[in-house]
Every structure is written in C-alpha cells, then in structure tokens.
Amino acid sequence: MKRYINPDRSEWKDITERPHINAAKLNGIVSEILEDIKLNGDASVKKYEEQFDKVKLDSLAVSQEEIAEALKLVPKSLYEAIVSAHKNIYKFHYSQQSVHNKVETCPGVTCWQKDIAIEKVGLYIPGGTAPLFSTVLMLATPAKIAGCKDIVLCTPPDKNGKVNPAILAAAHVAGVNMIFKIGGVQAIGAMAYGTESVPKTYKIFGPGNQYVMAAKQIVSVSDVAIDMPAGPSEVCVIADETSNPTFVAADLLSQAEHGIDSQVILITTSEKTADLVEQEIDLQLNQLPRKEMAQKTLENSKCVIVSNKNEAMQLSNAYAPEHLIIATDDYETLADKVINAGSVFLGKYACESAGDYASGTNHTLPTHGHATAYNGVNLDSFLRKVTFQHLSPQGIASIGHTVEIMAANESLDAHKNAMSVRIKELEK
C-alpha cells in the first residue's frame, strides 16, 4: 500500500484517484459488441459466449431440470445460509415500503403519489473468479417485494455450459425462474435490446467489471434505465489507536480479493495502527487462496495518516467510498459526519462481509466515487413514483387564474387555453 503522512489538500486528488483503463478503447470495444447483439440477437450472444466464456451453447435459457439438479448439488449448510440471509434481506427491504397520503394543496385540488413496480427488470449476476450468488438475493428480493412482473436474470456459465449451483439455488429461494446463461457485455446487450430468447427489460441492475459498467452506461443513454454506475469493488476503513489491527487488515483484504481492479484505502490518525495493520495484512495475505489477486489490488491501494478525525472524515467524503467502515470506539460521533458513502459499517464488529451477505442491507452500491450522487439499491430502485391529481370546479376557481397568467408569460397560449375553456364553461 502506498503510504501518505499528513498529506496536503493538494494531494487528495491523487489519493482519491481510482485505477482505470483507457475509456475510449474500452467504450469502442463494448459498443461494437452491443451493436452486434442489437442486430443479430441470440446468434451474436452465442458467438460472444463462445469467444469470452469458452462455451458453445445450444440454448441460452436455464431449464427447470438444471435448477432441480443444482438444488441437489448445493450443500445443505449453504442452502440454509442462503435461506437465512434471504429472510433478513427481505425483512429490511419490506420495511422500506411507503405510505402516500392524498394532499389537498388548495380548495378543490387534490394530489397524491403512488408506487408502481417496474414491469420488466434485468439482473446481472457476475460469475468470473467468484460467482456472486449473494447478489441474486440482493437484487431479486426487493424486485419481488416491489411486484416486478418479469425478472430476468443473466449470469455467465462455466466451460461446460453450467451455471454455478449456488446462483441457481439463490434464484430459487428468491423466486426467480427466468434465468439465462449469458455473461459480460453480451448479457447487458441481451437485456437492453431483447433477443429471440431474452425478453427486453426496462431497467438493468447488478455489479460487474469495467466492461459491464461501460455496457450499462452505453445502453442507458437511449435504450434502458440502469441502477447506477456500479463497477469494481472498494472499501475505505477509518481507524485510530482504539481499532483492532487484525480486524482492519481482514476488512481490507476482504475487498482486495475481489479483483485486481478493486481498491482499498486506510485512513488513520495513528501511525502505530497503520504499522500494525500492514503487518497483519502480510500475515493474513499468505493464508489466502486468492493471494496473488489480493496482492495486485494492494498495489493500487493507499494508507493515509492524518492529524485528526475531522480530516479523516473529510478525506473519506472526498473519496466517496462504496463501503465505509468506521472501526473506532467513537463511531457514533463520526457517523454523523458521513456525507458520501454507499454503505456504512459502524464499530469494530461490523465487518463489511456482514452487509455483503446477511445483515439485511443491500450490497449493490455505487463505486468509483459515484456515491456523491447515487445511493445503493433499495426497494425504491424497483418502483416508479407516479403522481395523480384531481381538480373539482372549486379547484379551477382556486388555481385557474394562476395557470392562465403563468402560461401566458411563457408564451404558451395553448396551455393557457386548456385552462381558459374550463373557466368559461364553469362561468355559464
């Protein structure tokens, strides 16, 4: 980890910089694939599955027989863990339902809002080096609570054309049965445009690598909505002399093992704690099966020693991390100073892994600094807020003249007339 000691504000730009690749080249490659899928549907999807996932598929859909087979392959302990996590995720997201009251804004004018589910949603579940079956629960659970009619799930198959059994088990628990063996950019294209096999969706959810993130952003320009610009995972840990170095090191490594384009950052007021954490990282790193990947991630990561907690929080807010762990005894005080973060973990026992799997909060979160403007997935992500209004004759009397004046002053005479004809009718 690159270390900074009491850095000047002018260095913060460098500290908060994420790893990135040539965006122009990336977008060019992704756009070509998307256009091919848009024009040629299933044939193109199968072509790219053979090219990128090294598998030749006769059918893109996962059959009921494959789901049944997967359920037999999943260990009982894992299935029970999935069920337990789903229960907590369901409980938290169910509590997010809103009650909307009708409001009489003035005599005779009544306005209200109603939550209506997005009819067709697409869920992308990464496979890659670590199949994220937990993401199925995070996306499908609120989609089901919201009442989405069609839930389409895409996830990459292995070289034998099989989907990871745990992913299918999680889909079964969450109530999803429209599942396709498609990964990467081709999955995003299939859900954005629709193919012979894959229904077109109205909004696409799910994390992924930089290619997936680029694909989501490109299709979002004119074809489909997306949840957020979610890319490589990241964590920021704020620590001091009261923090447990073993815990902090474990939290940093838990993100570092996601992939080489992930990033971790430690901000601490104690140089001694920084030293102890780095020692612990070295010890724990050697015990990890994904040691090489985590090691490469740490090369893009930073340790920043600051003079006080206020500065630590300011730097964290400037970084806008996907995950923020406040691993200090005074976490309650510092929590009030959080402005930009995807999800926050408070105290020495709130490891980020808890939120990733089973606490109930959602782990699909904004990355790459997008937490300054985006929130993580929640129930509202699957809903549209539709407004309604009703005007009685009394309502026309209340706001009719206001509408006429405002429309006239915007030189929109037809707008004015739409109100004027009603006023005249009521004056008869």
**List 234, 278, 280, 322, catalytic entry:** 322
Residue 86 bears catalytic tag: no
Distance CA 263, CA 253 (A): 10
How much helix, strand and coil, in percent to the nearest 5, is found in the chain?
50, 15, 35
Nearest to 215 by CA among 365, 42, 52, 29: 29
> CB–CB of 227/206 below 8 Å?
yes
Q: State the Cα–Cα distance between residues 233 and 325, nearest whole angstrom.
A: 14
SS3 state at 388: strand
Instruction: Name the residue type at position 207.
Output: P
Q: Among this protein's residues, is 50 annotated catalytic?
A: no
Of 93, 172, 323, 370, which residue is the catalytic one?
Answer: 323
What gap in Å lies between CA 345 and CA 89, rounded to an integer?
A: 16
Handedness of CA 326, 331, 337, 342 (dihedral sign): positive
Query: What pairing do the DSSP bridges indicate for beta strands 109-117 and 103-106?
Result: antiparallel
175: left (phi over 0), alpha (psi -120 to 50) or beta: left
Rg (CA), the chain: 25
User: Could you give the CA distance from residue 134 to residue 374 in angstroms, rounded to a whole number?
Assistant: 21
Q: Decide if 338 contacts 35 (C-beta within 8 A).
A: no
User: Can you tell me the distance from the alpha carbon of 162 to that of 155, in angstroms, rounded to the nearest whole number?
Assistant: 10
- Catalytic sites, residue numbers: 322-323
